Homo-oligomer: A and B are copies of this chain.
Amino acid sequence: MSLNSFGHLFRFTTWGESHGPALGAVVDGCPPGLALSEADIQPFLDARRPGQSRFTTQRQEPDQVRILSGVFEGRTTGTPISLMIENVDQRSKDYGDVAKAYRPGHADYAYDAKYGFRDYRGGGRSSARETAARVAAGGVARLVLPEVKILAWVSEIGGDAIDMARFDEAEISRNPFFCPDAQAAARWEALVDEARKSGSSLGAVVECVATGVPAGWGAPLYAKLDAELAHAMMGINAVKGVEIGDGFAAARNTGEGNADPMRPGSAGPEFLANHAGGIAGGISTGQPVSVRVAFKPTSSILTPMPTITREGEATELFTRGRHDPCVGIRGVPVVEAMMALVLADQKLLHRGQCG
């Protein structure tokens, strides 16, 4: 799992920068014989695509994926699947400010400290554009998991949470926030608009649930399903926290309150609760696998912030131009993709070891 690759058996490697000619993913280890065309992947890219509402960045990228290898006569061959997405809206702008000074909160300073050097155009490799490659790879991973349904949504923006009693799955695709609670969506419209207009930004929480995962996926001890999910989610741009099941709420609970008792069911055990989020000892229990992911507010804001130049002089920077007032929103398809990628890998690993 080194550097720009993820996964063990179902493994992908991504490449590309915000302002390069293209970006892509190479998916390796995919089972053969799966029906796959660009049309299977494109909807997920479309969901993540910027510029679709005023609540996301106005950069216009069609994000059309091309499959360059690994598919023959409409089916996967078992060899590497190369996916490429061209960048078309690398707007020519003046990067003088950013080239000379570090945007606070961004990876600028850390990259320079590491590499002595950085591609400063739009964040280079650290740009959230890379997540398009993950989403494309995730589209392939979903084909490996016909038994699993993956659903993510925004459950909180800027501290304003949805009411789970009003959860309506159909609502998620009806508003620009992937919000399952119509009333919250209405409130967020005002909230995010205000942030956008004032050049501020807001954090968000994304939840994701995978149903249909059979008991037995995952492995002790360093390939635990929850550890892999935590790795996958924490590696998404702007993510600062990950919870499995009840997460931090479990830390405030008692053993009785946190219990997931079982009783005989029609098909295997029936659980009376799912505080564990579908994972025990790092292995799936057959219950829905649930994860919550905290996205920080993007550091790209209009308010000037103190920072330093590459030469170490004091200066101030603010972010001109296009940015996401709430990056967590477009995190929804990315979180879904990472869930699919982890599960596909764990499915193959389980089959490999246990037959």
A222 touching B248, Cβ below 8 Å: no
With A243-B241, A296-B251 known as contacts, the answer to whether A29 contacts B353 (CB < 8 A) is yes
In A284-306, which residues have CB < 8 Å from any B CB? 284-286, 294-301, 303, 305-306
A220 touching B104, Cβ below 8 Å: no
B301 touching A256, Cβ below 8 Å: yes
With A119-B77, A296-B258 known as contacts, the answer to whether A26 contacts B26 (CB < 8 A) is yes
Report if A226 contacts B (CB, 8 A). yes
Report if A322 contacts B (CB, 8 A). no
With A107-B280, A215-B109, A255-B297 known as contacts, the answer to whether A28 contacts B4 (CB < 8 A) is yes
CB A138 to nearest CB in B, in angstroms, measures 14
B241 touching A20, Cβ below 8 Å: no
Residues of chain B lying within 8 A (CB to CB) of residue A13: 5, 13, 26, 28, 80
Residues of chain B lying within 8 A (CB to CB) of residue A36: none
Stretch at the interface among A50-58, A167-175, A178-186, A232-240: A232-240
With A2-B223, A349-B9 known as contacts, the answer to whether A234 contacts B242 (CB < 8 A) is yes
In A247-277, which residues have CB < 8 Å from any B CB? 247-248, 250-264, 268-269, 272, 275-277
In A1-34, which residues have CB < 8 Å from any B CB? 1-6, 8-9, 11, 13-17, 20-24, 26, 28-33
Report if A190 contacts B (CB, 8 A). no
- Bin the interface of chain A by size: 35 or more
CB A345 to nearest CB in B, in angstroms, measures 10
Bound Cα distance A3, B29 (Å): 7
Q: Which residue of B lies closest to A243 (CB)?
A: B241
Q: Which of B258, B269, B351 contacts A203 (CB 8 A)?
A: B258
A195 touching B355, Cβ below 8 Å: no
A227 touching B221, Cβ below 8 Å: no
B253 touching A285, Cβ below 8 Å: no
Q: List 9 A-B contacts (CB under 8 A).
A: A2-B222, A17-B77, A78-B114, A109-B285, A110-B281, A126-B220, A159-B252, A226-B239, A240-B243
The 9 A-B pairs of least Cβ separation, nearest first, read: A107-B281, A352-B352, A113-B215, A201-B255, A230-B234, A241-B247, A227-B235, A110-B283, A159-B252
